[in-house]
Structure 1
Amino acid sequence: MNQIKELQIKCSIEEHDDVELACFNQQCKANRVYCHQCLRNGDHIAHIKDQKNIKELIEFFNKVEQENEDLIQKLSLMLGEIIELFTQLNQGLEQKYKFSKKRLQKLNAKQLNQVLDQVLKYDEITKGLFEDIQKSSDDMIIQLKGNIKDLKLEEANSHQQNKQEQEKLEKFQQLYQKGYKLYYDDNKYEEAIEVIDAALLIDPNHVDSLFIKADSLKMLQDYREAIIWAEKALSINSNHLNSLSSKGDSLRILGKYNEALMILDKALNINSNHDISLARKGACLQSLSKYQQAIICYIKALQINPDYQWAKNKQAECKKQLYLKYK
């Protein structure tokens, strides 16, 4: 009774009740599942003996499922036997026609004569062997393709694959959004990396995820590892702006100012108004004591983002250095 309540499916005819009956008549062209109102309207009345209730329908589905599992097990045993025989054949051929110098030296003249006689017939024997197996294989492939087509298994497999891909995509999106929030909104970089690592198991080539991991590592002061992950992102998209900027900043912090400038210039060639890259370029120039050029970069960054406090502070440092220099 509980199964009947659980299977609550509306009749395909509007304003009718839930389906409660099923028709098992092979020649029937009407809806196979229907409600009592359909029955009162005369549907399936000609073969009422082929009518089953929902409980019997569920039992029938369970019976077919069990029979199908038995069939799969039998097919698996057949496949296992075929694989085992192919293995024996391959191993036997390898053993019979593998002639090392050490093996030949163990033969006397009569045995060597017999071996040579067999080898001279190798082409004839193996050609027939291969042709027989090839024909059997072709026949089986044709048969199996026909079975798959007749049973519409490709549609079922395709539907299942699409469903699995959709589930993977949804799971990935959930992980990415969670990782992005931990990184960008919450500044919880270690937690962000854990979540993004899980996302990358699903899609290891997702550039934005690779960038988040790279920049999180940079924020955790693991600059060399940060560069490695930024480069992974750039190997997929060499013009990924955020990854270029992050890599440039890690190089800057490691004191590799000229390398950093090259990377940051590439980022600015992609987007000349990227305020973060402008400020990072300014910081490189500042570390090289090129204060006036650095100030120009900071000014450009602040024109784009007037609230950029780090750029303001760095600009003030440069002005102070210039004042002390020309005092």
Structure 2
Amino acid sequence: MNQCEDIIVKCPNPEHTKNVKQVCFDESCKEQRLYCHECIKIGMHVTHLKHQEELPFLFEHISRIEKESDNLINRINKQMDLIYNDFFLLIGGIRSKYQISKQQLLNLNFQQINSFLSQSIHFKQFELTIEKLLQELIKEFQDQIKKLQKDLNLFALDYDQISKSNIEKSEELYEIGYKLYWNDEQIICQLFDDVLL
């Protein structure tokens, strides 16, 4: 038997006694996406029946979205790698153009020395231009990342935080239970010692 079929989820509507059987995948739906047969009887989701699936499909959907999001993350990482490569090429270019040792300078011909001096005299203008440009680009990039985070509603519900909260609560209850057990054990030992004396 399929493990997904064994999963029982109570209907989110507290007035309903049935378990969730259907999941709504309509993008424009504003109703509860998990619902039971009682929900259908009262008319929920009847306007978009073609977007309804049985509960086990939810887990297929979750698995597919996980793979797709991993693929997206990999593509984003590749784009960032391209940016890093270009950034390091820029840094290398600045070093090779403006950083020269005394020995390297002495090995240049007069035309090369003249070219280096001319470019180094204009370094301050280059420095101001590149810093201003990079600050603007980085600010725009950060603003776009923040906009994406907001549009994706990334911080509205932190599933890991919910899990962490549940784990912390479980640990807290375990500690309370252990202390109660230990105190009972101590009391029993004390009673046993009193009886023997």
Place the TM-score, normalised by the shorter chain, in its bin: 0.7 to 0.9
Question: In the alignment, what sits opposite 1:75?
Answer: 76
Q: CA deviation at 1:3?
A: 3.7
How large is the RMSD of aligned CA atoms in angstroms? 2.9
Question: In the alignment, what sits opposite 1:44?
Answer: 45
- Evaluate the alpha carbon distance shift between residue 127 and residue 54 of structure 1 in structure 2; reply closer, same or farther with a 3 A threshold: same
Q: Is 1:105 equivalent to 2:95 in the alignment?
A: no
- Evaluate the alpha carbon distance shift between residue 81 and residue 161 of structure 1 in structure 2; reply closer, same or farther with a 3 A threshold: farther
Q: Is 1:145 equivalent to 2:150 in the alignment?
A: no
- Evaluate the alpha carbon distance shift between residue 161 and residue 93 of structure 1 in structure 2; reply closer, same or farther with a 3 A threshold: farther
Question: In the alignment, what sits opposite 2:62?
Answer: 61
Cα distance in 2 between the residues matched to 1:144 and 1:81: 17
Residues 5, 56 of structure 2: 8 Å contact kept: no
Moved over 6 A (4+): none
Residues 22, 35 of structure 2: 8 Å contact kept: yes
SS in 1 for 2:155: helix
Bigger RCO of structures 1 and 2 (CA < 8 A, at least 6 apart): 2
Question: In the alignment, what sits opposite 1:5?
Answer: 5
Cα distance in 1 between the residues matched to 2:164 and 2:13: 32
Cα distance in 1 between the residues matched to 2:98 and 2:126: 12
Q: CA deviation at 1:95?
A: 2.4
- Evaluate the alpha carbon distance shift between residue 161 and residue 19 of structure 1 in structure 2; reply closer, same or farther with a 3 A threshold: closer
- Evaluate the alpha carbon distance shift between residue 80 and residue 10 of structure 1 in structure 2; reply closer, same or farther with a 3 A threshold: same
SS in 2 for 1:153: coil
Residues 23, 54 of structure 2: 8 Å contact kept: yes
Mapping for residues 126-205 of structure 1, pairs under 5 Å: 126-156=127-157, 160=160, 163=163, 170=171
TM-score normalised by length of structure 2: 0.74
- Evaluate the alpha carbon distance shift between residue 132 and residue 67 of structure 1 in structure 2; reply closer, same or farther with a 3 A threshold: same
- Evaluate the alpha carbon distance shift between residue 165 and residue 126 of structure 1 in structure 2; reply closer, same or farther with a 3 A threshold: farther
**Aligned pairs, how many?**
174
Cα distance in 1 between the residues matched to 2:110 and 2:46: 88
SS in 1 for 2:53: strand
Q: CA deviation at 1:79?
A: 0.9
By percentage of residues, which structure has more helix?
Answer: 1
Q: CA deviation at 1:97?
A: 1.2
Q: Which runs of 5+ in 1 are unaligned?
A: 178-327
Q: CA deviation at 1:122?
A: 1.1
Question: In the alignment, what sits opposite 1:117?
Answer: 118
Q: Which runs of 5+ in 2 are unaligned?
A: 179-197
SS in 2 for 1:154: coil
Larger radius of gyration: 1
Cα distance in 2 between the residues matched to 1:37 and 1:105: 89
Mapping for residues 177-326 of structure 1, pairs under 5 Å: none
- Evaluate the alpha carbon distance shift between residue 120 and residue 6 of structure 1 in structure 2; reply closer, same or farther with a 3 A threshold: farther
Q: CA deviation at 1:25?
A: 2.5
Question: In the alignment, what sits opposite 1:85?
Answer: 86
SS in 2 for 1:112: helix
Cα distance in 2 between the residues matched to 1:136 and 1:50: 42
Cα distance in 2 between the residues matched to 1:63 and 1:142: 30
Deviations 1:267-310 (A, max 9, x none): xxxxxxxxxxxxxxxxxxxxxxxxxxxxxxxxxxxxxxxxxxxx
Cα distance in 2 between the residues matched to 1:42 and 1:137: 50
The amino acid across from 2:72 in the alignment is L
